[in-house]
Structure 1
Amino acid sequence: MTTTLVPPPRTGGATPARGPSPLRTELRRGLGPWTGAAVAVAVLVTMYNKGPGWQDRWADATNMLHVVAGLFAGSLALAAGGWQGGRDRRRGTTDLWESVSRSPLRRLLVAVAPSALWPAAGLLLAAAVCLLATWPYVSAGRPYLELVAADVVAVAALGALGHVVGQVVPWRLTAPLLGVVGYAVMIMTAYADGSARWLGPAAEHQFFWDGPVWWFGPVSMAWTAGIALTALLAYGLRRSRLLPLALVPLAAAVAAAGLILRLPVDEGPWRPDPALAREVCDDGTPQVCLTAVDAGLLPEVSAALAPLNARLKGLPGAPVRWVSGPGGATRPGDVGLPHTDQEAVRGRLVRPDLYLNAAVNWLLSDSCEPGDGMGPNAERASVIHLAVAEWLAPTPDGYGPDPTAARPYIDRLDAKSPAAQRDYLARYLAADICHPDEVPVP
């Protein structure tokens, strides 16, 4: 008799279910999600309140985001990181964490993740909303995403630094003090003298036809991330033979800081961009020329200057071109135009009357030397100057000087025939207003 050996049937033993990873658990609980939401709301509310000042140009939007991110997002990240870092000591769970079979550095990196990643995510969301809100109104250029990325890395680094400080000093007032001190330090560095101001995350730049040098974004990331990684490695490896590894990110941060400190004091990483600064002109007489970054405003600026151009057309001494840009008035017959950043909002010239009045004052402005403009007729010449400006473009109510003293001369100009008005205006433009005796009386 043959016996057949049959293997016993396999039991359907289920594989033990794996629980959620410690990193996912840390990211989902505690202060992290609330910090990300607070950063996004703070940045969006601040940017919304200053919307008229940045929605026309990519450089303005990037600059405002940079300042707001440094002052508000960075301070919030520091404070929230300090609170998160001191959580375990406040709760008395430090011994429980140390009993986990993971290295101190790994435990630290898991614990610090919410302090770094959530504020960065909140800023990234707010920056995306602001850049999308800018896109419909810009005329030229591109969004400087490398600078936005550098801001996001800086906020993450500040959150990580705050977390380390919170672990070292688990005092309940550590978090608010970090936020206040961080805000004050960023204000001071933003307005400090010297190139060191560009090391801070809130340095401001003004000229909207400039672009950043290509290397500034990556180098800024190396600077801020290097400082944060140095602190994390120094604290996480403080009892390990691998502590000298903290010198690697420190060396990268020092090298990056050295490059940034070599930047010019005023311009910093910004340089004129020929594509943004090139002239875009209409076909009027006098011609109106704006930079390419404001090309979308050219029809409205031309329309605002049309009444003045009609009076100036063909007169000796009248401008040949109205120009605006970094080069200014470079050709004979050029007259500078006021910048549109004060009167333009979201691609529109909100107050054409104010812009026209400013253009007239630029046209009639003088470059007199000290001691000029003196003499017995100086006061009369000043009143005539005001009268001509008010006659060409009346100052809107609530702006500029009171034209009451100039009213008699304005009435005389209004009473003249068109030919007599043009004759007087030609004589006025030909006169040297730095010598009051030469200013013709209407």
Structure 2
Amino acid sequence: MTATLTPSRTEPRARVRAVSPLRAELRRGLGPWTGAAVVLTVLVTMYGKAPGWQGRWADATNMLHVTAGLLAGPLALAAGCWQGGRERRRGTAELWESVPRPPLRRLLVAVAPAALWPAAAVLLADAVCLLATWPYVSGGRPYVELLAADVVAVAALGALGHVVGRVVPWRLTAPLLGIVGYVGLAVGAYAVGPARWLSPGAEHQFFWDRPVWWFGPVSAAWTAGLALTALLAYGLRRGRGRALALVPLAVAVAAAALVLRLPPDEGPWRHDPALARRVCDDGTPQVCLTAVDAELLPEVSAALAPLNARLKGVPGAPVRWIGGPFGPGRPGDMELPNAAQDAVRGRLPHPDLFLNSAVTWLFSDTCAPGDFTGADAERASEVHLAVTEWLAPTPDDYGPDTTAARPYVERLRAKSPAAQRDYLARYLAADTCHPDEVPIP
């Protein structure tokens, strides 16, 4: 006798999980690929310029801001445009519009990948780069309000591109829109006047500056307002409520008005005394940098140590080496070259080159037109080069040819320490703009 197996009534039935339209839209199509492309674009660009931004929060923030505005923005614009024209290119626009959902809701679901994926990618790239900067900075903070405004701007550009793709579903619209967007953002970023700060890619070297507190939120309101205006105007074009598009438009216009009232020269940036505060060592001559570059102070002091040993106690020698936005503040101060420009991740990779630059600045006089002429000009130039070479030899493959100055260098090296100090005092006291006053070793 054969037993017949029948399913038990208590056996659990398979449950079908309903996938929300938003989740399905985010997971398919061009969205994930756009996010990956934006992450790679930003990170590869930042990696190629890492030595220039990893030592300061200001440099890292500025570089991320420009990269997001000028590279990620046009990429999101083009990708959103391609995504927006997808339904008409496939011939499924009528089928999509037959879905029993309000037109604006369908539009917001469809535009989500074009806006959210690039924005999330920029946010991820910002986090990676800020973490890579953190071990090497001395002071200050990253201006996260500006980075948040960049995320909103990239999302807004993706949404605007989606609307353009729906209106003009031509296949070449997306690449052309990306090119036009890049050119427009670049031109706006480097324009003259307050209008340049309306561009998401406007650059500012704010080593000792900070933005006004409202600039980040207002910038986000400007770009988000434009995107929402376009979305509402397109999504409500066939029904009631089209006047709702005027609300985000009014917000965008108000935000733009605030930005356009900024001072033409300063823009939204103001000097921050806490960042420009001087931090000095206890050497003689003293070396002073700003609080932003405090971690560089031991490196700079060590690089200048051989020169300071020769200058110590010499009449006319500097009392302090000063680095920062204001330069010398009292008699005896001597301005330093910008150590941050030569630094890589908070360190000086070529201290000999920095020392040579400091000596060059020490002996650089501002001569009037017609000075440094006459029969002794060539000889004075050779002596000047010899003194620089004696105090700080030029590294290989850098600087001018020192062959003509070699005899004077040998004379200086052959002198006794007392004679060297005497000559150095006479050279510092001379007016090097007049060749006949330059003492010969």
Is the pair's TM-score, using the shorter chain for normalization, greater than 0.5?
Answer: yes
- What is the distance in 1 between the residues matched to 2:167 and 2:269? 39
Secondary structure of 1:188's counterpart equals helix
- What is the distance in 1 between the residues matched to 2:86 and 2:118? 18
- What is the distance in 2 between the residues matched to 1:405 and 1:190? 47
Equivalent residue, structure 1, for 2:50:
51
Task: Return the offset for 1:371.
Answer: 2.2
Larger mean Cα displacement after TM superposition, 256-265 or 361-370? 256-265
- What is the distance in 1 between the residues matched to 2:51 and 2:363? 29
Task: Return the offset for 1:296.
Answer: 0.5
Gaps of 5+ in 1: 1-10
Equivalent residue, structure 2, for 1:80:
79
Larger mean Cα displacement after TM superposition, 306-315 or 271-280? 271-280
Secondary structure of 1:322's counterpart equals strand
Q: Does 1:105 align with 2:104?
A: yes
Contact 2:319-2:332 at 8 Å conserved across structures: yes
Equivalent residue, structure 2, for 1:246:
245
Q: Does 1:362 align with 2:361?
A: yes
- What is the distance in 2 between the residues matched to 1:367 and 1:330? 18
Task: Return the offset for 1:18.
Answer: 5.8
Percent of pairs with identical residues: 79
TM-score normalised by L of structure 2: 0.95
Equivalent residue, structure 1, for 2:6:
none
Task: Return the offset for 1:92.
Answer: 0.9
Whichever residue aligns with residue 36 of structure 1, its letter is G
1:32-181 matches, within 5 Å, as 32-181=31-180
| Residues 178, 275 of structure 1: alpha-carbon distance in 2 compared, 3 angstrom cutoff | same
Task: Return the offset for 1:142.
Answer: 1.1
Larger mean Cα displacement after TM superposition, 267-276 or 417-426? 267-276
- What is the distance in 1 between the residues matched to 2:256 and 2:291? 34
Equivalent residue, structure 2, for 1:4:
none
- What is the distance in 1 between the residues matched to 2:369 and 2:256? 45
Q: Does 1:438 align with 2:421?
A: no
Whichever residue aligns with residue 185 of structure 2, its letter is M
Equivalent residue, structure 1, for 2:218:
219
Q: Does 1:267 align with 2:274?
A: no
- What is the distance in 2 between the residues matched to 1:308 and 1:432? 21
Equivalent residue, structure 2, for 1:25:
24
- What is the distance in 2 between the residues matched to 1:345 and 1:152? 28
Task: Return the offset for 1:33.
Answer: 0.8
Secondary structure of 1:422's counterpart equals helix
Secondary structure of 2:270's counterpart equals strand
Secondary structure of 1:139's counterpart equals coil
- What is the distance in 1 between the residues matched to 2:234 and 2:184? 23
Equivalent residue, structure 1, for 2:202:
203
Whichever residue aligns with residue 54 of structure 2, its letter is Q
- What is the distance in 2 between the residues matched to 1:394 and 1:261? 51
Secondary structure of 2:253's counterpart equals helix
Contact 2:26-2:113 at 8 Å conserved across structures: yes
Considering only aligned residues, what root-mean-square deviation do their CA atoms show, in Å? 1.7
Whichever residue aligns with residue 200 of structure 1, its letter is S
- What is the distance in 1 between the residues matched to 2:417 and 2:135? 43
Equivalent residue, structure 1, for 2:5:
none
Whichever residue aligns with residue 381 of structure 1, its letter is A
Equivalent residue, structure 2, for 1:290:
289
TM-score normalised by L of structure 1: 0.95
Whichever residue aligns with residue 68 of structure 1, its letter is T
1:304-315 matches, within 5 Å, as 304-315=303-314
1:314-393 matches, within 5 Å, as 314-393=313-392
- What is the distance in 1 between the residues matched to 2:180 and 2:248? 25
Contact 1:68-1:202 at 8 Å conserved across structures: yes
Task: Return the offset for 1:16.
Answer: 8.6
Contact 1:285-1:320 at 8 Å conserved across structures: yes
Contact 1:205-1:267 at 8 Å conserved across structures: no
Contact 1:79-1:162 at 8 Å conserved across structures: yes
Whichever residue aligns with residue 229 of structure 2, its letter is T
- What is the distance in 2 between the residues matched to 1:206 and 1:395? 30
Secondary structure of 2:368's counterpart equals coil
Q: Does 1:189 align with 2:219?
A: no
